[in-house]
Amino acid sequence: MGKLAVLSLSFAALAVLIGERVITLRHVSLSYRELTQNYLPNCHHIEGIEYGAEDITVLENGLAFLSTGLKYPGLPSYSDDPGKIYTLNLLDSKMKIKAMNIKGDFDKDSFNPHGISLYTDDKDGAVYLFVVNHPQGKSQVEIFRFIEDENALQYIKTIKHELLHNVNDIVAVGTESFYATNDHYFTNGILKFVEPFLSLPWCDVVYYSPQTVQVVAGGFLLANGINISPDRRHLYVADILKHKIVVLEIQKNTVLSHVKEVDVGSLCDNIEVDRESGDLWLGCHPNGLKCVFHDPNDPPGSEVIRIENILSEKPRVTQLYSDDGSVIVASSVATQYGGKLLIGTVYQKALICDLKL
């Protein structure tokens, strides 16, 4: 009888724990949230993008780079083809994407691009594209040199390291150096599920250079997008399950100190930073549960948020676009250039709109 009582109590405690965790997950995923549509004028899908443009970044001359075809555990994927990098000239009225040719000894068949970052070398003006790549579900970083007159990428090198085990996004700070986010602590599939289920704040930011590799910030529930301020003194990290953008100051030894956190009220993914104003542009998931399950009859929506004056005492957080999934599904990135707003998604289409500011 005593053993039965203990067993009953154990099952009851487990049921209470699971129930509490489910309620917490529903809360952090904003599963209760329904969007009011907030559209911009003259929006249209970008022809040729059908399987996502998970990350997008833009050069000063208006040339956008799009990371497409991501296959990521737990999220839908609708193509078995390798991923690709496209360019889109935002100053060209035709708005036609161009697939980039990858030159050199690089395995294109297993290319599975995720976060991307551009770096321009002050010494010679050379442009480098850093790409988070997941071949066969692994994590590594590819460095390419951009050949503008050929719209091509020259493969330079692949970076692998035990600290770069679940890389989501990256921001380049040199020709071979960068900061990167790990969106999970564990690499085992089951444990990666358990991690957010138990709300374990074990995700981190890693600094990499040929001389140094180290964890420089931690304590994130799920670290996604990362980017840098125009003066290169602060990093911004999206802690997606906390609904916050974390501001970190870069110290001389590359270690980061915590400055503040800004509530955004959504599950914001990638971060783009305006070079002139310093404003942050965020592609967000307004309802994370819909994003994971992706019911075609009730698709995940999309949301674009801008943060102005993020380093001030009163940053301004504004929703600039929202859709319930009828136009664009599961937005992951947003960036603006020349009066245009470009919105990418994890696994669906990409959208471009006229921007009202």
Does 46 show up as a binding residue in the annotation?
A: no
Does 269 show up as a binding residue in the annotation?
A: yes
Strands 152-159 and 101-103: parallel
- Of 114, 134, 234, 243, the active-site residue reads 114
Q: At what angle do helices 2-28 and 189-197 cross, to 10 degrees?
A: 80
Does 323 show up as a binding residue in the annotation?
A: no
Burial class (CB within 10 angstroms; exposed 0-12, middle 13-18, buried 19+) of 217: buried
Backbone angles phi, psi at 152, to 5 degrees: -130, 165
* Angle (nearest 5°) at CA 237 between 227 and 281: 60
Does 169 show up as a binding residue in the annotation?
A: yes
121: left (phi over 0), alpha (psi -120 to 50) or beta: beta
Sign of CA dihedral 47, 48, 51, 55: negative
Does 313 show up as a binding residue in the annotation?
A: no
Does 150 show up as a binding residue in the annotation?
A: no
Please confirm, yes or no, whether 134 is among the known catalytic residues.
Answer: no
Does 148 show up as a binding residue in the annotation?
A: no
Identify whether the C-beta of residue 42 lies closer than 8 Å to the C-beta of residue 327. Answer: no
* Angle (nearest 5°) at CA 179 between 97 and 350: 25
H or E stretch at 88: strand 84-89
Does 270 show up as a binding residue in the annotation?
A: yes
The set of catalytic residues is 114
Binding-site annotation, residues for Ca(2+):
54-55, 116, 168-169, 224, 269-270
Binding-site annotation, residues:
54-55, 116, 168-169, 224, 269-270
